[in-house]
Amino acid sequence: MHRHFNGLKTALLLGAIFAVLLGLGSVIGGGRYIWLFALIGLATTAYGYWNSDKIAIAAMRARPVSEAEAPAMYRIVRELSERAGQPMPRLYVSPTQAPNAFATGRNPQHAAVCCTEGILRLLDERELRGVLGHELMHVYNRDILTGSVAAAIAGVITSVAQMLMFAGMFGGGDDERPNPIAAIAMALLAPMAAALIQMAISRTREYDADEDGARLTGDPLALASALRKLERGVEAAPLAPEQRIVNASHMMIANPFRAGDVSNLFSTHPPMAQRIARLEGMAGNGPGIQHYG
């Protein structure tokens, strides 16, 4: 089976975004002040990472769901958790018609899986199993930590770039003031580069969750079928505009907004066609893949 080296790509992309941070810091006073902003950014991210499950659940107005209310969801997650040798996560349902699902939590012991009402109506049980396998692998692969680190560095870069722009345009005349042309150029380009790299990291983690989730369920075609339905479902019922302020889209199995709303470079998710093609390739060539049902 073809291996895409998503873990290596993620490591390289994290190195790239850190290099952007160091490059930005080198423009400011020889890099003497960058660590103050880094500490602020890391402290904020540590809080977000530690409370990621609470923040995401509250953002989607989700409620805990009982086994009597969602027997299929419980049955699938319990089976897959036992297969993976991991504890059973808490289960939630979000009262939105936009079809989607996400998992969050700093580790498997503090994980939560959430499905929207829309996705529970849209998918059959086999397809839902493929989706939940994908989401559980986000937790098992520690993707919340990876995303938090990327977001922290990107946030520091953006904050420092704004100060750098101000210093370049209005700073005093001492020797420590950065070159105004270099400062303005770096202030404009660094945040864009950081955003592009952050989105690329998110896309590699989606590919990994697809592949590892398909191995967990033994049924890559179920996830491929679910993704086809979700692509059409999101086009018909995207996440409500007021929820765009919630930066939770990277955790969802499908980009919750219409494909035309953002370019591929700034998308948190790979193109659906590529994800489906990889899954179909696993079904045709992957050793150890067992078909469900």
Segments of the chain assigned E as strands: 63-64, 90-94, 101-104, 112-116
What tokens were used for 233? 């479902």
What tokens were used for 8? 């290596």
The radius of gyration of the chain's CA atoms, rounded to the nearest angstrom, is 21
Name the helix (H) or strand (E) containing 143.
Answer: helix 143-170
For residues 28 and 190, the answer to whether their CB atoms sit within 8 Å is no
Strand partners, 92: 64, 114
For residues 150 and 142, the answer to whether their CB atoms sit within 8 Å is no
What tokens were used for 19? 């290099």
For residues 93 and 120, the answer to whether their CB atoms sit within 8 Å is yes
The DSSP secondary structure of 222-261, one letter per residue, reads: HHHHHHHHHHHHHHHSPPPGGGGGS--GGGBSS-SS-GGG
Known catalytic residues are 135
Write the CA distances from 193 to 126, 186, 197, 198, 253, integer angstroms: 40, 10, 6, 9, 24
Q: Name 68's Cβ contacts closer than 8 Å, sequence gap at least 6.
A: none
